[in-house]
Every structure is written in structure tokens, then in C-alpha cells.
Amino acid sequence: MSSAAAKKTRPKYLSLSALLFEIRLPSTAWVSGLHRVSGALLFFPFAAWLLYLLDTSLASEQGFAHVRDEYLKLPLAKLGLTVFIWAYAHHFCAGIRFLLLDLNKAIEIRKARMTSYIVFAASILLTIAFAWRVW
């Protein structure tokens, strides 16, 4: 073993606080990470919750009235719908961005950063526009 390899410092194990506060990730990395988070949110909790709401509302007129008049008036349900709207909007916009990257469009660093900022802006604007109706 050479002396250069022996003197090499071993990498630190990264903690969540290091990832959030010490390491500055570029906007493209944030779009990619939030794309995964939004996809997981859409699949795991929200799919079951929305299927429950659909089943309840289609079961009878009373079930539909209960979902519309009582359940969706709760602040926690409205907050959940707002998070669902953000997850869907972000996943949709980031998915289009990744499809363009797969077609070798906007793959240069400046254009990639610009499209990541566009994804953030579009998902926030779509969330505000649709959440306005919820609240």
C-alpha cells in the first residue's frame, strides 16, 4: 500500500443536519430530491386517502354530503389537500423537465438551473392557484 493511500482521510458519514444546513445543494439537486419525495407522497399516503374519499362519496348521497360538507371543511383535510396539490404539481412539472433532459434538451448547466427554477416557480404558482379554491 502506498503512503498516499494510507494518509488519505476517510469520508465522514453525513447526517440529515449536514445535508440540510452544511452542504449547499444546487437547485437541480433539490428538484430531483423533491421529485422523489412528491412521488412517494403521491403513492403511499395520498392514494389510499383519495381512494377512501372516492369510495365514501360514491357509496351514497349521504356519504357524498358527508365528504363535501363536513370532512373537507376540516383544516387538517384542507392542509392535506394542499400538500397533495403541491406534490402533484411538482411531480408533474419536474417530470416534464426530466423528460426534456432525457431528450438532451436544456442539458447545459445554465439551462438546467434555469429549468429547475422554472419547475419551482410553476409548482408553487399551480399550488397557490388550486389551493385558493380549497381554502
Domains of the chain by range and CATH?
25-134 (1.20.1300.10)
Alpha helices for 2-108 (secondary structure H): 3-7, 16-17, 27-43, 45-59, 61-65, 75-102
The predicted model scores a pTM of: 0.81
- pLDDT tens-digit map of 74-83: 999 999 999 9
- pLDDT tens-digit map of 59-68: 999 999 999 9
